[in-house]
A and B are shown apart, each in its own frame.
Chain A
Amino acid sequence: MSAGWEVVIGLEIHTQLATKSKIFSGASTAYGSEPNTQACLVDLGYPGVLPVLNKEVVRMATMFGLAVNATVARRSVFARKNYFYPDLPKGYQISQMELPIVEHGEMFITDADGNEKRIGITRAHLEEDAGKSIHEGLDASSGIDLNRAGTPLLEIVSEPDLRSAKEAVAYLRKIHTIVRYLGISDGNMQEGSFRCDANVSVRPMGQKELGTRAELKNLNSFRFIEKAINLEVERQIDLIEDGGTVAQETRLYDSDKHETRSMRSKEEANDYRYFPDPDLLPVEISDEFIAAARAALPELPAAKEQRFVSAYELRADDATILTASRALADYFETLVEATDAKPQIAANWVIGELSGALNKDNKDIGDSNISATDLAGLVNRIHDNTISGKIAKQVFEAMWNGKGSADEVIESQGLKQITDNSAIEAVVQKVIDENPSQVAEYRAGKDKLIGFFVGKVMQETRGQANPGQVNQVLKDLLKA
């Protein structure tokens, strides 16, 4: 980043709420069906149909508001945002304008210096999604799929408190984590359940007034968001330093070409003619409703992270990793519950082998080949010295590939650790007998050769001898 410039970013996040049916109709919200099979007359905007609010979205928005320490409005109002587009069947989108359901929230991120930083959440409001226009595979015409029309969205708008692409991504990840913790969104970015627009501007360091902003659209992965913002920041700084001015406009990020390009300028922007939707009553929320939502809140990521450090004595960064998703944290806690080993040992297995295997197979923790209790079976065999840590990795791989439980794998593959001292002594004696010159060197003071002998013994026992015992027996017999 060029010195002397301050970057100012605000994010608008559209998160799809995980309801079974749409926000104003009974049609299903399931993803990936045949075009226009999940759009009822209400979604299609037929003459005479009317919207009826799905109360579940109010509960979800309320939970989000409470989770980000925001004000949940006792009365919020749906408004119509009027514009024409083929994927918008009614010619208006039902959204919230003047009176959103959530206002004045906050989220804490860690900035570049490792300090906690507060990011203000201006508002979060409920609205319906539009359908999709389809241009591919159609000859000289466009298709419209209205399955997505009417899907509930919560639009979360931040204050312009973010000062770098990294901070923007950190904030976005926090919101992503929290909506999944609350169970109000699956957060699936590929399927568009979690989308983000970024308002980006730059100003000379120390200047109070904000620079002119550009709105970046089409940011559908954490990686793209960081790249796109950095690209836009460079573009704006270059532009200003070359004597130009930034235009207020909407820009589209093209991840293939790695460029942003202008979509429409402020002059071309619609006048949406918002007004309260006369088909819907204001949403009234009682204190009891809010109390019930509060009582239903799960433990939130920040609290869980702290608890993992204090209760399980985990390293702080491990606690952060394990609490990034509720499913992962739950997996870890089930594992800890079922094992006698130290929690940090359990954490190492989850963050190490398990996460590696999941990544390799591109799986979520929920689809893990090895359940938390099965993994506990493995960790317990290390803890009780049945197998060594090294053999355990071999057992893990067999378990991952469906060869059975830890005990079954150990049994069938004969991987049980050798802890019988006399058996170890016999092998050690064999190794001493077969390597007289090395024995002589060792005895002459070349202590480092102990490693050579351990290796030989392990080779003979296919790694199953207890390493501690091998060391001890070797030292004893080599002394003689």
Chain B
Amino acid sequence: MTDFHTQTLAELSRGLENGDFTSLQLTEALLQRISAHNDKLNAFITITADEALAAAVRADAARAGGSAGVLNGLPIIHKDIFCTRGVKTSCGSKMLDNFISPYDATVVAKLQQAGAVVLGKANMDEFAMGSSNETSFYGAVKNPWDLECSPGGSSGGSSAAVAARFAPAATGTDTGGSIRQPAALTGTVGIKPTYGRVSRYGMIAFASSLDQAGVITRSAEDAACMLGVMAGFDERDSTSIDQPVPDYTAAIGKSIKGLRVGIVRQHFDVGLEAETGARVKDAIAMLESLGATTVEVDLPNLDLSVPAYYVVAPAECSSNLSRFDGVRFGHRAENAEDLLDLYCRSRGEGFGDEVKRRILTGAYVLSAGYYDAYYLKAQQVRQLIADDFKRAFADVDVIAGPTTPAPAFKLGDKFNDPITMYLNDVYTIGANLAGLPAMSVPCGFVKDLPVGLHLVGSHFSEATLLQCAHQYQQQTEFHQACPEDFQ
């Protein structure tokens, strides 16, 4: 068997079940593939080969013993933001380069219980702050479709790894688009569920009220399978919501006939690259041909989402990252003169520029005299945006549009221009501010680079999003295209 990498999670699962191959064979093959090709991409921070092989052996034994979980023996990758016991969990930062987590995140534990085999920890923007994966202490990740381009961020290692067929699925996190934007730029599927759907316990916090764990795969079917395992209430996360998890895999097979698809006029105004817009319009036409109806909806406050986000997210990050002080774990400056010096130098040396920029912005908007004008105002705007979505979802089931304004950009192009970089998230941020589920589905190519269709649903409508994406993928082959260097 040499074509493991071409198969989806669902296909590999059937192969294991039929006894066509073992998890050990599968794991060895993918580890070999990773070791052969990862240098081109820099998708990993840590490759956990030994742990993966041991887990594969256990999975094979479990299957032989008749106790195979849903993901038994199936290889996946974790974004390096999820704490994994006994393994370095760096969050893409020098600050945590020496941090071995003593515990597993809930997401990690759940996937492990389902039998998944973890191949490694994916590269990412430092502390998930970035849209290009260039802020990583471990260097930028390259886009398998064009090695000079960014794979997006912050889950850039996850998206590149899945696009390069290193594994059929990788976890990610999404605070302002960090799953969906990289998925779009690498021709993969990425879903960010409803805020509270997946536990945040053990996921290193960037902006607590916006962060949500999700997954990057090649097919919506695989995303449904992964999400089914990851979702659910966790008593260790007070913001996780106690609501039953539907059978996503069962839901996706249904026709989308009669599905009401909302189109936001502002999405197709200024800022959207023409060809990208054309691919998205084609995708919407495809949904119509499958029986969906389109309705124009209005999100009047959408243009405020980026500024509101860049107040709320830095504010929370400035506080969340205070624990990295060089005292108990992580980077600690040597020969500090006194306590203040220890703090200043440990943090000064441990954090990169983008993280510092956001901590400073966040501390500023929360400080006495500015709180009302910035933080409080941003929270009010956030409520307006949530209300806009609520009104829109009275008339439609999903809102469809572009995931990004354009296909992947060249590494280095926007790195020194934070504002332009931030605007890359203009279509995705609204879902985070409103806590809504959203996903990106590959919908074509612009100059040989993939672009994505963005779908947003009302709270807890993941099944509808996955169904819509799956039905679309039954008619299209964009998600099956493989970058030339990674056939």
Question: Does A46 lie within 8 Å of B339, measured CB to CB?
Answer: no
- Within the complex, the shortest CB–CB distance from A241 to chain B, in Å, comes to 34
Give CA–CA (A477, B339) in the complex, Å: 91
Q: Which of B99, B208, B315, B318 contacts A47 (CB 8 A)?
A: B99
Q: A280 vs B343: C-alpha distance in the bound complex, in angstroms?
A: 27
Task: Point out the residues of chain B lying under 8 angstroms from A48, CB to CB.
Answer: 82-83, 89, 101, 105, 201-205
Can you name the residue of chain B whose Cβ is closest to the Cβ of A36? B328
Least CB separation from B344: chain A residue: A84
Q: Is A92 an interface residue (CB 8 A)?
A: yes
B310: interface (CB < 8 Å): no
Q: Which of B341-374 contact A (CB under 8 A)?
A: 343, 363, 366-368, 371
**With a CB–CB cut-off of 8 A, which chain A residues contact B321?**
91
Taking a contact as CB atoms under 8 Å apart, the answer to whether A92 and B319 are in contact is yes
Asked whether any CB of chain B lies closer than 8 Å to the CB of A116, the reply is: no
Of chain B, the residue at the smallest CB distance from A82 is B319
Return chain B residues, CB-CB under 8 Å to A86.
325, 327, 339
A45 at interface by CB-CB < 8 Å: yes
> In whole Å, how far is A461's beta carbon from the nearest beta carbon of chain B?
74
Shortest Cβ gap from A279 to chain B (Å): 5
Chain A 83-102 residues near chain B, CB threshold 8 A: 84, 86, 89-92
Chain B minimum-CB-distance residue to A146: B328
Q: Does B239 lie at the interface of the complex (its beta carbon under 8 Å from any beta carbon of A)? A: yes
Cα(A278)–Cα(B322), bound, Å: 15
| Residues from 365 to 400 in B contacting A, C-beta threshold 8 Å | 366-368, 371, 375
Contact call B316/A278, Cβ cutoff below 8 A: yes
Give the distance in Å from the alpha carbon of A139 to the alpha carbon of B202 in the complex: 36
Beta-carbon contact of A47 and B101 below 8 Å: yes
Measured CB to CB, the closest approach of chain B to A79, in angstroms, equals: 10
Contact (Cβ within 8 A) A92 B322: yes
Q: How far is the CA of A14 from the CA of B123 in the complex (A)?
A: 45
Of A50-58, A152-160, A365-373, A409-417, the one contacting chain B is A50-58
Shortest distance in angstroms between A428's beta carbon and chain B's nearest beta carbon?
83
Residue of B nearest to A279 (CB): B208
Residues of B contacting A: mostly:
loop
Closest residue on chain B to residue A51 by CB atoms: B238
Instruction: Give A276-302 as 1s and 0s: 1 = Cβ < 8 Å from B's Cβ atoms.
Output: 001111000000000000000000000
- For residue A448, CB closer than 8 A to chain B, the reply is no
CA gap between A146 and B303 in the complex, in Å: 46
Contact assessment for B204 and A275 in the assembled complex, using a CB-CB cutoff below 8 Å: no
With a cutoff of 8 Å between Cβ atoms, the chain B residues found around residue A247 in the complex are none
- Chain A residues near B82 (CB, 8 Å)? 48
Cβ-neighbour of B327 out of A92, A144, A274, A275 (below 8 A): A144
B237 within 8 A of A: yes
Q: Which residue of A lies closest to B316 (CB)?
A: A278
Residues of chain A contacted by B434 (CB below 8 angstroms):
none
A90 contacts B322, C-beta separation under 8 Å: yes
Whether A80 is near chain B, meaning CB under 8 Å from some CB there, is yes
Q: What are the residues of chain A within 8 A of B327 when measuring CB–CB?
A: 86, 89, 144
- A13-51 vs B, CB cutoff 8 Å, 1 = contact: the mask equals 000000000000000000000000000010011111111
* A85 nearest CB across to chain B (Å): 8
- Find chain A residues with CB under 8 A from B412 CB: none
Q: Kindly state whether residue B122 has any CB partner on chain A within 8 Å.
A: no
CB of A271 closer than 8 Å to a CB of B = yes
Q: Which residue of B lies closest to A25 (CB)?
A: B236
Judge if B14 is at the interface, Cβ distance under 8 Å.
no
On whether the beta carbons of B328 and A44 are closer than 8 Å, the reply is yes
Asked if A479 is at the interface of the complex by the 8 Å CB criterion, the answer is no
Please state if B322 and A53 are interface contacts (CB–CB under 8 Å): no
> Within the complex, which residue of A80, A144, A273, A279 is in contact with B363, where a contact is CB–CB below 8 Å?
A273
Q: How far is the CA of A274 from the CA of B363 in the complex (A)?
A: 10
Q: Does B323 contact A (CB under 8 A)?
A: yes
Q: Which one, A50, A53, A274, A281, contacts B200 given CB within 8 A?
A: A50
Which B residue sits closest to A144, measured CB to CB? B327
- Most chain A CB within 10 A, of B203, B235, B238, B371, is at B238
- For window 24-40 of chain B, which residues contact chain A by CB distance below 8 Å? none
Bound Cα distance from A467 to B358, whole angstroms: 89
Q: Is the CB of B208 within 8 A of A278?
A: yes
Q: B239 to A281, Cβ gap below 8 A? A: yes
B103 within 8 Å of A (CB atoms)? yes
Kindly list chain B residues whose C-beta atoms are within 8 Å of the C-beta of A274.
Answer: 366
A273 touches B366 (CB 8 A): yes
Contact B322 A84 (CB under 8 A): yes
Known: A84-B343, A92-B322, A278-B209. A50 touches B328 (CB 8 A): no
**Which residues of chain A are within 8 angstroms of B329 by Cβ–Cβ distance?**
46-47
When the two chains form their complex, are residues B102 and A41 in contact, meaning their CB atoms are under 8 A apart? yes
Kindly list chain A residues whose C-beta atoms are within 8 Å of the C-beta of B325. Answer: 84, 86, 91
B83: which A residues are within 8 A, CB to CB?
47-48
The residue that A52 contacts in the complex, of B209, B238, B324, B375, with Cβ under 8 A, is B238
* B96 contacts A47, C-beta separation under 8 Å: yes
- In the complex, the answer to whether A47 meets B102 with C-beta atoms within 8 Å is no
In the complex, whether B91 has a CB less than 8 A from a CB of chain A is: yes
Nearest A-chain residue to B363, judged by Cβ:
A273
- Report the Cα distance A51→B330, complex, angstroms: 21
In the complex, the answer to whether A45 meets B323 with C-beta atoms within 8 Å is yes
Which of A80, A90, A278, A281 gathers most chain B CB within 10 Å? Answer: A278
Q: Please determine whether B202 and A82 come into contact, CB atoms closer than 8 angstroms.
A: no
Pairwise interchain contact A82-B238, C-beta atoms closer than 8 A: no
In-complex Cβ contact of A49 among B91, B201, B343, B368 (8 A): B201
Q: Which of A328-384 contact B (CB under 8 A)?
A: none
Contacts of B339 in A (CB 8 A): 86
Closest chain B CB from A132 CB (angstroms):
14
The reply to whether A281 and B238 contact each other, CB–CB distance below 8 Å, is yes
CB-defined A-B contacts under 8 Å, sample of 22? A44-B328, A46-B323, A47-B89, A47-B204, A48-B105, A48-B205, A49-B202, A50-B239, A53-B238, A82-B366, A84-B343, A86-B339, A89-B327, A91-B325, A271-B368, A273-B363, A273-B366, A273-B371, A278-B208, A278-B209, A279-B208, A280-B238
Beyond the given A48-B82, A86-B325, A278-B209, please list 19 additional residue pairs across the A-B interface where CB-CB is below 8 A: A44-B328, A45-B328, A46-B329, A47-B323, A47-B330, A48-B203, A48-B205, A52-B236, A82-B319, A82-B366, A89-B323, A91-B323, A273-B363, A273-B366, A273-B367, A275-B319, A278-B239, A279-B239, A280-B239
Interface residues of B (CB under 8 A from A): 82-83, 89, 91, 96, 99, 101-103, 105, 200-205, 207-209, 235-239, 315-316, 318-319, 321-325, 327-330, 339, 343, 363, 366-368, 371, 375
**Which 3 pairs of residues, A with B, have the shortest CB-CB distance?**
A91-B322, A278-B209, A278-B208
